[in-house]
């Protein structure tokens, strides 16, 4: 009887151990499935990573190139501003890179049907502006110069109109009132 009882306890322990083993076997199979899935995905992800790194490196090169252009254009615009800065200096011309007289804005047209453009009538400033590399900045400078030339033309025509205006002054010849 004692042996039967021990055998029954051992059978229960074996059954319990088999249950535990089945649970852990299922977890092992699930982990193996996950490992297989990762083994399939990993090469694709490595390729995508290398492509992303290559693309980022290319874009970084473009950004560095564009930064060089912008920094060059900033330096050009600073030198133009330094040439045209007349705060407290009057509008006298000096040599050696000092302040310049207020340059004239020249509005030009290429041919009969050509595009119009504007430039400054001073060689130092013209040279500086022609060294701008960014097309966007070149376009903005052109728009600003064209606007200035239009404003100057409007001011000139207004000044001419004001010079040509003659005032009508009425001269009254009233006799004095009797007292």
Kindly list the distances between the CA atom of residue 173 and the CA atoms of 169, 170, 176, 179, in Å, as whole numbers in the listed order: 13, 10, 9, 18
Range of the domain at 126: 99-158
Specify whether 18 is located in the same domain as 65: yes
Specify whether 44 is located in the same domain as 6: yes
Domain count, the chain: 2
* 84 neighbors 120 (Cβ within 8 angstroms): no
For the chain, 179 residues long, give each residue's pLDDT as a single digit of tens. Answer: 788 889 999 999 999 999 999 999 999 999 999 999 999 999 999 999 999 999 999 999 999 999 999 999 899 888 888 877 666 554 444 444 454 555 666 666 666 666 666 767 677 777 887 888 888 888 888 888 778 777 666 666 666 666 665 656 556 666 766 66
Specify whether 3 is located in the same domain as 59: yes
* 100 neighbors 84 (Cβ within 8 angstroms): yes
- How many residues are present in the chain? 179
Burial status of residue 100 (CB atoms within 10 A of its CB: 0-12, 13-18, 19 or more): buried
Predicted TM-score of the model (pTM):
0.52
Specify whether 56 is located in the same domain as 1: yes
Burial status of residue 112 (CB atoms within 10 A of its CB: 0-12, 13-18, 19 or more): exposed
């Amino acid at each position: 009887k004692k042996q039967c009882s021990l055998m029954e306890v051992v059978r229960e322990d074996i059954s319990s151990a088999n249950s535990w083993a089945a649970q852990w076997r299922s977890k092992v199979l699930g982990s193996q499935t996950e490992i297989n899935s990762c083994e399939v995905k990993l090469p694709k992800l490595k390729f995508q990573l290398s492509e992303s790194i290559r693309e980022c490196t290319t874009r970084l090169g473009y950004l560095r190139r564009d930064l060089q252009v912008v920094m060059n254009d900033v330096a050009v615009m600073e030198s133009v501003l330094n040439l045209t800065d007349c705060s407290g200096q009057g509008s006298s011309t000096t040599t050696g890179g000092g302040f310049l007289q207020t340059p004239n804005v020249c509005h030009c047209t290429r041919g009969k049907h050509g595009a119009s453009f504007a430039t400054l009538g001073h060689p130092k400033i013209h040279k500086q502006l022609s060294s701008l590399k960014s097309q966007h900045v070149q376009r903005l400078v052109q728009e600003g110069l064209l606007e200035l030339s239009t404003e100057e033309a409007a001011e000139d025509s207004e000044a001419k109109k004001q010079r040509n205006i003659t005032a009508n002054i009425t001269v009254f010849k009233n006799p004095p009132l009797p007292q």
